[in-house]
Amino acid sequence: MQSFNQIVTEFNSYIHQQKFFEALDRLYHSEVVSADNDEKQIVGIDRLRYQIKQFIDKAQIHKIELVSLHIEDKLSAANCCYSLDHKEFGRIEHHQFSVQRWKDNKIIQGHHFDVR
């Protein structure tokens, strides 16, 4: 059985490798609540999958680099550096600070903050 640290490390490895849907399938709770910056919350795995697909279909991702990672009991926080071109938003190069709350070794809540 994997430790919580190993599970969080696996999740961040999926993100680094741009395996977003594998991360969704393996490590997200069906009742996940997610939000970016001040945007409206996305509730449920199916809505989150749809939103991610909409973004990814319009993006060419050049790099996702994990800069730092903090892991506590049922909580993780990661600072990632993103570099991508998006059909709607243009060139994006920024850090994103993401906080995940975990339940039953799956992400139940995530909030992402862009730092430009």
- The 10s digit of each residue's pLDDT in 50-94 is 999 999 999 999 999 999 999 999 999 999 999 999 999 999 999
- The 10s digit of each residue's pLDDT in 33-48 is 999 999 999 999 999 9
- Quick one: three-class SS letters along the chain? CCCHHHHHHHHHHHHHCCCHHHHHHHHEEEEEEEEECCCCCEECHHHHHHHHHHHHCCEEEEEEEEEEEEEECCEEEEEEEEEEEECCCEEEEEEEEEEEEEECCEEEEEEEEEEC
Q: Which domains does the chain have, with CATH numbers?
A: 4-115 (3.10.450.50)
